[in-house]
Amino acid sequence: MPCDDRLHFRCYRRRTFLTLALAPLLAVGAQAEEDESDKPPAPDDRFTFLTGPKKGQVVRAEDLALGGPQMQVFPMAPDGTVRNNRLSLVILARFDPATLSEETRAHAADGVVAYTAVCTHQGCPVNMWSTDRKAFVCSCHGSVFDPRNGAEVLDGPAPRPLPALGLKLKDGVVTVARTFTSRVGGTQG
């Protein structure tokens, strides 16, 4: 109902009341959406391309080159919310399952492995690839991780392997089966 001058005060009160009454609900909805994107990868999340011609599409096993290099991806919740926070950045790579250690095979899905892209040294991105060693490399301090053997530290100052995600394939789509095997992040944070 439109407000005229004589009802102005009443309309103002009604609008103020509605605004105040709805504000918490709107804030909770916005907060819930924000919180979902801030969460770590969870079971049944899929992965989405960060860049390139397939940006925003889900990652399928055949999208990953056999033998590396790795691909940086973000997990995407079943409702389509991309978990795009720094600690949710994941690296995927695909190998011949016969070349994986027993422990790594237990987390992998048909040779596809997933690890945090956050170095365990100081939290820098693990975003480089060593072709010679077929290994992940941290771009800050040069830690090298073996993706075929639980991302064990081959060189550098990193104090521990990269946490792994358990994976499964759903109709060829790379999907989270289990959460990270250990705490994500560096020794400094």
Task: Please check whether residue 139 lies inside any domain of the structure.
Answer: yes
> Which tokens in the block code for residue 122?
């100081």
Q: How much is the pTM?
A: 0.81
Confidence of residue 116 (pLDDT cuts 50, 70, 90): very high
pLDDT band at 19 (very low <50, low <70, confident <90, very high): very low
- How many domains is the chain built from? 2
Asked if residue 92 lies in contact with residue 169, where contact means CB atoms within 8 angstroms, the answer is no
Q: Is residue 187 part of a domain?
A: no
So what's the pLDDT on residue 37?
83
| 81 & 155 share domain | yes
Residues 111, 96 contacting (CB under 8 angstroms)? yes
Give the pair of three-digit tokens for residue 14. 């009604």
Are both 53 and 33 inside the same structural domain?
no
Average pLDDT for 70-83: 96
Tell me the average pLDDT of the chain.
86
Residue 185 lies in a domain: no
Model confidence at 35, in pLDDT bands (50, 70, 90)? low
Q: Tell whether 95 and 32 lie within a shared domain.
A: no
Residue 149 lies in a domain: yes
Mean pLDDT of 152-181: 97
Is pLDDT of 10 > 80?
no
| Same domain, residue pair 23 and 88 | no
What is the per-residue pLDDT for 38?
86
pLDDT at 188 over 90: no
Span 6-24, mean pLDDT?
47
Q: What average pLDDT does range 42-64 have in this prediction? A: 95
Q: Is the domain of 129 the same as that of 158?
A: yes
In a domain, 188, yes or no: no
Burial class, 39, CB count within 10 angstroms (exposed 0-12 / middle 13-18 / buried 19+): middle
97 and 167 both lie in a single domain: yes
Closest CA to 113 of 131, 142, 93: 93
Q: Looking at the predicted structure, is the pLDDT value of residue 8 above 90? A: no
Domain membership of residue 112 as a residue range: 46-178
The order of strands in the sheet holding 144-146 is 126-130, 135-138, 144-146, 152-155
Residue 189 included in any domain? no
Q: What was the pLDDT predicted at 1?
A: 46
